[in-house]
Amino acid sequence: MVDKSKMPGDLWVRMMWAPKDPAGIQDRPIVLVGDRRRWLIGLTPTILGFLLLIALALIRAPLLLLIVPMALAVVGARYATGGQAGFYEVRDDGSLGDFLGRKAPLGLREMRRTKP
How many other C-beta atoms lie within 10 A of the C-beta of residue 31?
Answer: 26
Distance CA 64, CA 105 (A): 38
pLDDT at 108: 83
Q: pLDDT digit of tens for each residue in the chain (116 aa)?
A: 787 878 888 888 889 998 887 665 557 889 999 988 999 999 999 999 999 999 999 999 998 999 999 999 999 999 998 888 999 999 888 888 899 999 988 878 888 888 87
pLDDT at 94: 85
pLDDT at 115: 81
pLDDT at 27: 73
Burial of 68 (C-beta count, 10 Å sphere; 0-12/13-18/19+): middle
Q: Which helix (H) or strand (E) holds 88?
A: strand 86-90
pLDDT at 5: 79
pLDDT at 26: 55
pLDDT at 7: 81
Q: Within 13 Å, how many C-alpha atoms sit on residue 25's CB side?
A: 7
